[in-house]
């Protein structure tokens, strides 16, 4: 068994995508992201203009604008209605709490006609209405990252009309994000959030097997073991955060990604999902990383460097290419909360 300090660094690498993702979920529901205004769970926020130099998105561009929503199915199914885009390219990318891309709705995956979908929890087993396509969420909270093709300022009114026609209809309010123990010190908050969110948003079965190794750190405990900031465990966890963060940053700076014309090529950076393939998601070994600890590191690097980037998607329409495509990340830029999580001022649920 590895030393406890090494185990804590491994836990940081393993849990970073979950913690960082849900920090961004909280950020979006309270502050907004870039030009997309804050919106509560089960409601969209839209960028209604072209990007400017002040935008803080990775790989920002001016041929798409964004629609974002954080969806909570813990209160029951959520219906999603999309308008007919009359051939306009758009994609709605679905990202679970562990940053797995598990579904796509839009031009390539489902076409551009109007459609209705029903988002359901992992354990939902009721009969759906006849007029919807069911999308099962791997975690009760997930993010929709929507992109609309736009051809300059004169095209924006048509895009705004389509954005306004997106509709989320929840059955009832969900639980939102569970709160960490307020008695835990800020410098241990990362592991406290990880502990709470591991219980609320369990990962795939294979990952649950892996995370049992973190039990000596208290990460699987029902009640927080991190209240005593002077304990030997607290000292070990602080060292683990520092070591894990350094390992992450070193891998970003000196990783072994292939290079092309001096650029790192990261076609498969987001291909760590091995288990969840709903509408539009491509269940193909070509787009899957090998299982093992290196996959967890890749998942962390993807979250740190480009949260909510996309994977290969299945072409549907006859004018699409015959192979899957991977688009570049349009993620919110990493901020200080990537390594120094802050407490939430209020619940982000509705």
What are the residue boundaries of the structural domains of the chain, listed by start? 4-21+178-306+319-338, 34-170
Question: From CA 182, how far away is CA 139, in angstroms rounded?
Answer: 24
- Output the pLDDT for position 325: 35
Question: From CA 203, how far away is CA 294, in angstroms rounded?
Answer: 17
Torsion of CA 242, 248, 250, 251, to 10 degrees: 160
Q: How much is the pTM? A: 0.86
- Output the pLDDT for position 266: 66
Computed over every residue of the chain, the mean pLDDT equals 86
Question: From CA 119, how far away is CA 308, in angstroms rounded?
Answer: 19
261's tokens? 């014309």
Question: From CA 168, how far away is CA 173, in angstroms rounded?
Answer: 12
List, for the chain, all residue ranges whose pLDDT scores fall below the cut of 70: 1-2, 56-60, 255-257, 264-268, 306-350
144's tokens? 């929709």
Q: Are 218 and 212 in contact (CB under 8 A)?
A: no
- Output the pLDDT for position 335: 35
- Output the pLDDT for position 321: 28
- CATH number, domain 34-170: 2.60.40.1610
- Output the pLDDT for position 272: 85
Question: From CA 93, how far away is CA 241, in angstroms rounded?
Answer: 31
- Output the pLDDT for position 73: 98
Torsion of CA 206, 207, 210, 216, to 10 degrees: -140
**R_g of the chain, CA atoms, integer Å:** 20
């Amino acid at each position: 068994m590895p030393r406890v300090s090494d185990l804590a660094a491994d836990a940081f690498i393993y849990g970073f995508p979950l913690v960082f993702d849900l920090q961004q979920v909280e950020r979006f529901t309270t502050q907004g992201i870039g030009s997309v205004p804050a919106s509560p769970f089960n409601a969209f926020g839209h960028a209604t203009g072209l990007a400017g130099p002040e935008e803080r998105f990775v790989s920002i561009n001016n041929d798409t604008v964004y629609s974002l929503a954080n969806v909570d199915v813990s209160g029951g199914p959520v219906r999603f209605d999309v308008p007919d885009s009359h051939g306009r390219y758009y994609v709605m990318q679905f990202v679970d709490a562990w940053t797995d891309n598990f579904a796509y709705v839009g031009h390539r995956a489902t076409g551009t006609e109007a459609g209705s979908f029903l988002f359901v929890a992992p354990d939902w087993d009721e009969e759906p209405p006849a007029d919807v396509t069911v999308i099962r969420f791997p975690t009760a909270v997930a993010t929709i990252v929507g992109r609309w093709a736009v051809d300059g300022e004169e095209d924006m009114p048509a895009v705004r009309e389509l954005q306004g026609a997106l509709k989320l209809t929840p059955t009832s309010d969900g639980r939102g994000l569970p709160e960490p123990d307020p008695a835990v010190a800020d410098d241990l908050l990362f592991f406290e959030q990880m502990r709470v969110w591991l219980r609320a948003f369990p990962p795939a079965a294979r990952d649950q097997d892996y995370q049992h190794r973190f039990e000596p750190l208290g990460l699987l405990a029902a009640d927080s073991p991190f209240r005593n900031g002077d304990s030997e465990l607290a000292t070990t966890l602080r060292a683990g955060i520092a070591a894990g963060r350094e390992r992450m940053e070193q891998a970003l700076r000196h990783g072994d990604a292939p290079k092309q014309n001096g650029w790192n090529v990261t076609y498969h950076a987001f291909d760590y999902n091995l288990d969840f393939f709903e509408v539009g998601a491509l269940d193909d070994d070509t787009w899957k990383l090998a299982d093992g600890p290196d996959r967890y590191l890749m998942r962390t690097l993807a979250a740190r460097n480009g949260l909510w980037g996309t994977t290969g998607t299945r072409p549907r329409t006859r004018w699409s290419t015959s192979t899957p495509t991977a688009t570049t990340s349009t993620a919110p830029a990493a901020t200080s909360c990537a390594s120094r999580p802050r407490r939430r001022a209020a619940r982000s649920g509705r």
